[in-house]
Structure 1
Amino acid sequence: FCSSTVHYWKDDVTPLSAAVVCRNEEICSYLLGESADPNKPSTNGLTALHCAVLSGVPLTIVKRLLAAKADPDGQGLQMFTPLQWAVYHDYEDIVKALIEAGASPETNYGVNPELDKKVERMIRQLSSQDEVFEKVHQFYSLSCALRTKNHCRINEEHFFQEHPFIHTVLFEVGHHPFGEQPFCEVNILQGRYSLDHLDDDVAKDLVEWMINEDPNNRPNVEQTLAHPFFWTEER
């Protein structure tokens, strides 16, 4: 398992992570086939995906881990997510694969402003190549603007923007039904939300529809704008 390489990290990693570090795709495939847990962290909180990105492994290994249900956000045990490390090392193909698997670019936003700028630049670059990533870029920009209260950056045409891979909808300035960082992503995954700040029952009905656990049961933009919440007195 390339023990010298693993020893250099000064970490107690899993056999799967060790195989990843050594870029041994055959052993990775074997261990995953034997139900190795890609989300089991090392002593220092590194998952197999963290190890993959930090080692600069081929994209095929990253995709194998993701196919085996590796958490694209790396379990939240490290200061930086696998995606942030991939951006730091300029691994654009890995960044794209992670986002397509549901990684959240805005996770840990604000921890390192310079890295945040680099994340934004890479997503913008991807958006110039792919229409779907244009929506990812819009979602990222809007989400970050809401978190920093920089409302002047928010364009009304991007309200009700749905992330194309994780199907989260941004729709409101000032409050997030799933709470603030660092608990927002965990609450989304566990379906915990609060609408106590909303006094309008019609608004609550709309919000609950928009954050339905099943993406297929959520409204599109046209259905959202047709909701009674947006009806005028003339209607």
Structure 2
Amino acid sequence: MSRTITITNQKGGVGKTTTAHAIATGLNHRGLKTLLVDLDPQSNLTYTMGADGSTPTIYELFNEEIKNPSSVIHHMEHGDLIPGSLLLAGADMEYTKPGREYILNEILEPLKGDYEYIVIDTPPALGILTINALTASNSLIIPMGADIYSLQGLSQLRGLVDNVRKYCNKDLIVEGLLITRYNKRAIISRNLKEVMQETAKQLETKVFDTVIREGIAIKEAQAMQTTIYDNSPNANVTQDYSSLLDELLNKR
């Protein structure tokens, strides 16, 4: 049975796209067929995958200009991708009809038999695109920095998750809060850890045991449009994302 995971946080700079890419390509490396969906108008994930964002994208599927989602999938060296589009930047104003929360779910439904996992990257905002992602997903991962500022705004995300569960997707699970871009020389205070744990409880979830360390291997892989598993298999950050995959898969 296919499982759909959304990676989201309205705060930028927390490694959201990096995490979506690392999880999806890591699952593919383990022989689990995975589809990436770039729902962020910035389309950084599309670039990292080496895809051409000027060809048919998720935007054409949202507007029903193309009705066969399989025809929009790019079969790239490191996995399959539905590319993003800058045209989705106006989604909150463009999609106003009743049922707009279910557009992505309807797009992905016929693809679920072809993939074991679908991983969705979202924009750093809590608008209609993120609502669509959560409505279409089984679970959610929230990347966040190891600082107090990353906790600001999570109450808004919690409110959005509660509303999606109430009105669109009652079975949505928050897999956990993922600390990213961690610098071991920085000290996380006991108070901050306690606040993170309390925030996780409010979201009915946990803080992942795995911490993602900061590492140049990420930037190198992105610049070369490859994966950390191919480019730097022994790097700390690669080991960290592998450990995260172990946590996710061992839970099943």
Higher relative contact order (CA 8 A, sep 6+): 2
Question: Could you tell me the TM-score, scaled by structure 1's length?
Answer: 0.41
Higher normalized strand content (fraction of residues): 2
Question: Could you tell me the TM-score, scaled by structure 2's length?
Answer: 0.39
Higher normalized helix content (fraction of residues): 1
